[in-house]
Amino acid sequence: MGGGRKRRRRDGSDAPPVMHPRNRYAAAAPDFAALASLYPSFAPFVTVSGGGRASVDFTDFAATRELTRVLLLHDHGVNWWIPDGQLCPTVPNRSNYIHWIEDLLSSDLIPRISNSSETVRGFDIGTGANCIYPLLGASLLGWSFVGSDVTDVALEWAKRNVESNPHLAGLIEIRNANEAPCSSKSETVAEEAVRENTSEPVDSVVRSIAPIFVGVVKDSESFDFCMCNPPFFESMEEAGLNPKTSCAGTAEEMACPGGEQAFITHIIEDSVSFKNSFRWFTSMVGRKANLKLLVSKVREAGASVVKTTEFVQGQTARWGLAWSFIAPRKNVIRSSTPGKVHHSFMLQGLRRGNGAFQVLKSAETFFCASNLSCKTDSLSFSIDVTLSDEQTQAATLDGDDLPGSVEDDSTKVHSTVTGASFRISVC
């Protein structure tokens, strides 16, 4: 079909996604010309067009590194540097991730771990030489962090970046994941835990990935969250296919066997063994196609809550995946669930011209496949669906999975949610 429709947002609008509203760059992008006048070292990387518009070549590693340095210094009071060849982060994009985690924590859906301190504590998987998440989280919100990595250069420069900021140094600890016992024992622990919590084991991944939590997180240690900017690619050749960005970054930062899908799957596997040590597990996802599969893996692992979001900076989109094994607060569920409300869902794969009966049967098949109790009334073209207590919690807290209305060219399906049951009607 020609001329595809605009993709609609979850709120029903056609507006493009935007930065997090608390991101300091949401209202206005960095003023390159002003920064160049304040920081002479940045001036050579700024080009001003005939119309007076200042720009930066983002395919130039030196330019993006200097931009990151001046933004961290100017807007966050952070001294920062990385050597050539290391992954250079963009400050606005990384800030989006920090503020999203702030939203997760402040929502109070998941109660704090009883033995955690008042200071929010995060664990950054693969912090890199840039150590960007601990530096941003500590400077913006006063959070404390443990950052882990595996290469000597990353560990050395992450520590240097922490030490260059004495006002933040007491909040950030860097750990060498290579010092963790990487043995078959750690694999067995994770695999046994997955089997205990799922009807089917989570898919296996290449075991060359370094330890995530096992041996890195200490006994009786607890965190409010973990975060990760995983290796997105399966090879460095694949990483270099985007001509619009600088392909700076080490092989450990950019690629791993199986790409981000394998790496995040490994986090999911390990998270089962550490479900009582973290309030939230989170990761960035580079490809939307992987997001749905990873959400399924998280659910298979037995998570009580799963949340997703979209991060946007310019033309670049990334996604966030968060999950927890801790039971949600019941009072939050009650207060956020109106007695009667309409929601939206999608039935995919229906052919044009399907009648109301075919749509009704497709809806019945969908909900039965989700292990929900269904009672179909063919005379009124409706289905009464009943959820268990656990399913009610998951549906209430994860907006992506709530039932609602679906429509094609000829048929509309409506649902009304009341308590732990709802009715699907075709009209």
Q: Is 424 helix (H, G, I), strand (E, B) or coil?
A: strand
Quick one: which of 98, 142, 99 has its CA closest to 117?
A: 142
pTM: 0.70
Average pLDDT over residues 296-321: 90
Instruction: Give the up-direction half-sphere exposure of residue 371: CA atoms within 13 A in the CB hemisphere.
Output: 6
Residue 359 falls in which region: left (phi positive, over 0), alpha (psi -120 to 50) or beta: alpha
8 is in an annotated binding site: no
149 is in an annotated binding site: yes
pLDDT band at 372 (very low <50, low <70, confident <90, very high): confident
399 is in an annotated binding site: no
Among 150-164, 206-220, 369-383, name the one with the lowest average pLDDT.
369-383
pLDDT band at 280 (very low <50, low <70, confident <90, very high): very high
- Between 244 and 211, where is the model more confident? 211
pLDDT of amino acid 160: 98
pLDDT of amino acid 125: 97
Average pLDDT over residues 111-126: 86
126 is in an annotated binding site: yes
Spatial distance between the Cα atoms of 78 and 131, rounded to a whole number of angstroms: 11
Among 45-54, 177-186, 330-339, name the one with the lowest average pLDDT.
330-339
pLDDT of amino acid 392: 55
Spatial distance between the Cα atoms of 74 and 395, rounded to a whole number of angstroms: 43
Among 88-92, 155-159, 217-221, 408-412, name the one with the lowest average pLDDT.
408-412
Q: Taking all residues of the chain, what is their mean pLDDT, rounded to a whole number?
A: 78
The torsion angles phi and psi of 264, rounded to 5 degrees, stand at: -70, -35
pLDDT of amino acid 400: 44
Burial zone of 166 (CB within 10 Å; 0-12 exposed, 13-18 middle, 19+ buried) = exposed
Burial zone of 332 (CB within 10 Å; 0-12 exposed, 13-18 middle, 19+ buried) = middle
Quick one: which of 347, 344, 342 has its CA closest to 360?
A: 347
Quick one: which of 226, 294, 227 has its CA closest to 260?
A: 294
User: In the predicted model, is pLDDT for residue 287 greater than 60?
Assistant: yes
Average pLDDT over residues 6-30: 69
Tell me the CATH class for 89-180+210-324: alpha beta
- Between 27 and 244, where is the model more confident? 27
Among 28-37, 41-50, 328-337, 351-360, name the one with the lowest average pLDDT.
328-337
Average pLDDT over residues 361-370: 74
Q: In what order do the strands lie in the sheet with 121-125?
A: 172-176, 144-149, 121-125, 223-228, 278-285, 316-324, 305-313
Spatial distance between the Cα atoms of 114 and 389, rounded to a whole number of angstroms: 24
The residues, ordered by sequence, that sit 6+ positions from 389 with a Cβ below 8 Å of its Cβ are 420
User: In the predicted model, is pLDDT for residue 182 greater than 70?
Assistant: no
Tokens of 320: 């966030």
pLDDT band at 415 (very low <50, low <70, confident <90, very high): very low
- Between 228 and 7, where is the model more confident? 228
Q: Which of 194-208, 215-229, 232-246 has the highest mean pLDDT?
A: 215-229
User: In the predicted model, is pLDDT for residue 133 greater than 80?
Assistant: yes
pLDDT of amino acid 391: 56
User: In the predicted model, is pLDDT for residue 102 greater than 90?
Assistant: yes
Spatial distance between the Cα atoms of 177 and 157, rounded to a whole number of angstroms: 15
Spatial distance between the Cα atoms of 65 and 416, rounded to a whole number of angstroms: 52
User: In the predicted model, is pLDDT for residue 234 greater than 90?
Assistant: no
Average pLDDT over residues 306-314: 87
pLDDT of amino acid 118: 81
- Between 204 and 21, where is the model more confident? 21
Among 48-57, 355-364, 391-400, 417-426, name the one with the lowest average pLDDT.
391-400
Spatial distance between the Cα atoms of 385 and 422, rounded to a whole number of angstroms: 5
* CATH 3.40.50.150 residue window(s) in the chain: 89-180+210-324
Spatial distance between the Cα atoms of 294 and 262, rounded to a whole number of angstroms: 10
Query: Contact 146/170 with Cβ under 8 angstroms?
Result: no
pLDDT of amino acid 359: 73
